[in-house]
Structure 1
């Protein structure tokens, strides 16, 4: 499973791939991307930025805000370096289990537009396969423990199963759409 710091780094590299940003804007965009369940604090963002600066994936420049008073502190704007672009491409090209785990999949998915179709398909299929395994386990456990649960615990389990089933269907629809947009050419019989 990907460390939270690695997920933050991938997200920051992806956002800076779009355009340079200052810390406040990065945090705001990251929180929109991560969703309400995983809000990011400055205490998580700035150590990640510091690490990426040290790795030379990003660089900072100071910018005086237009119309700001002379004694106001200039803003620090972060931008991607060539090494950062290479690291982003490398991370987005990974197709192993970390690519489809809960903590990393959403962030990778947000940047799928910059990913090769074959990589997208492998990540989507891996995610779907992982969720199907999880779904089978939960359904087996649910059928064995259904009689022992009270009404509310049972409803919570049912809700979880339905959520995973919806995501599996969504992934299947995405996979089918990817394949129909770019059908695999069959070798000609000659």
Structure 2
């Protein structure tokens, strides 16, 4: 599970990723995070707005107060990513480490794959794949231990987790194969070699040979009579 610090960093990355698509209000931003990212399904305004204030204090986002809507007391604030925020986001998306293939963080990084280069995407997918293989091995051991102790419910829970991991492993294998195909260079075909053109003298010689039926002729000077 991500620590509070890493969760805060993931939330910052997710906010910047969404604001890079265009300015948004806090309500729309929270809704997008809740619907699209499993890590933030229970994200509250009490967590979102402090994160927005921190990002603004760091100069990574900007806030703009909208004109007051008639009949309402509250003013709506629109948030947008700054130039420094774009630079920070680009730097984050071009790198990858072990935390990026953990639960939650992987989901956020995957939603930003369209803005991530192919080499970094492949590294994250391969890291997640290795993590899932480790998890599958642990679940197999857990299920085997539960079966030996004749605990049907624990065995069922372990097998349920194993089914989920196996499904993700298969999905990751497909994604990795597709990503490697993108990186594989397309073989270039060599153009057929064209015969080099001969000199004008050779051409003239060949034409002369054809004109005489394949026999070369030489010019003779007329014999002078004494």
- The two structures have a TM-score, normalised by structure 2, of 0.76
Q: Give the C-alpha shift of residue 149 in structure 1.
A: 4.5
Q: Give the C-alpha shift of residue 135 in structure 1.
A: 1.0
Q: Any stretches of 5+ residues in structure 1 without a counterpart?
A: none
Report the equivalent of 1:93: 94
Match of 1:52 among 50, 55, 59: 55
- Rounded to whole Å, the distance in 1 between the matches of 2:53 and 2:150 is 48
- Rounded to whole Å, the distance in 2 between the matches of 1:82 and 1:122 is 27
- Rounded to whole Å, the distance in 1 between the matches of 2:80 and 2:92 is 18
5 Å-filtered alignment, 1:21-100, equals 21-35=24-38, 38-64=41-67, 68-69=69-70, 72-100=73-101
Q: For the pair shown, which has the larger CA radius of gyration, 1 or 2?
A: 2
User: Residue 104 of structure 2: SS of its match in structure 1?
Assistant: helix
Change (3 A) 1:185 1:111: same
Q: Give the C-alpha shift of residue 175 in structure 1.
A: 0.7
Change (3 A) 1:71 1:35: closer
- Rounded to whole Å, the distance in 2 between the matches of 1:132 and 1:10 is 27
Q: Any stretches of 5+ residues in structure 2 without a counterpart?
A: 188-226
The one-character-per-residue Cα deviations of 1:113-172 (angstroms, maximum 9, x if unpaired) are 000000000000000001101111221232233221422221111010110111011011
5 Å-filtered alignment, 1:151-170, equals 151-170=152-171
Report the equivalent of 2:127: 126
Greater RCO between the two (CA within 8 Å, min separation 6)?
1
- The two structures have a TM-score, normalised by structure 1, of 0.89
Report the equivalent of 1:8: 11
Q: Which runs of 4+ in 1 moved over 6 A?
A: none
Q: What do you get for the CA RMSD once the two structures are aligned?
A: 2.1
- Rounded to whole Å, the distance in 1 between the matches of 2:84 and 2:153 is 51
Q: Give the C-alpha shift of residue 62 in structure 1.
A: 0.8
